Amino acid sequence: MIAVPVIIDVALVVLALTLLPAAWRVATGPTEADRAIGADHAFFVFVAVVALLAVRIQRFEMLDVVVIGTLVGFLSAVFLARYISRSRR
């Protein structure tokens, strides 16, 4: 099954490339909402990279970190949305 590690490696490269526009959005976003979206995207890309690495190196204990990271990312997205909507009032 040599194809599976190659596919995972390609997916890791693609995810790494998606961090470039996210970093650009965080650095130059004209509004706080743009920066929050870029940071949220970057965090979820990081979580996806951890999940793919867990499968790639066959350390499935790391998937617990992915579940916790997903929960923290969701809660931070909700918090940022509430913060941004209150600051506009």
The Cα 48–Cα 37 span in angstroms is: 16
The Cα 34–Cα 71 span in angstroms is: 21
Structural domain boundaries enclosing 10: 3-87
Q: What is the pLDDT of residue 12?
A: 95
Counting the structural domains of the chain, the total is 1
* Cβ neighbours for 8, distance < 8 A, ≥ 6 positions apart: 52, 55, 56
| Mean pLDDT, residues 9-27 | 94
Q: What is the pLDDT of residue 2?
A: 75
Residue 35 has pLDDT above 70, yes or no: yes
Average pLDDT across the chain, whole number: 91
Residue 80 has pLDDT above 90, yes or no: no
CB atoms closer than 10 angstroms to residue 36: 20
Q: What is the pLDDT of residue 52?
A: 95
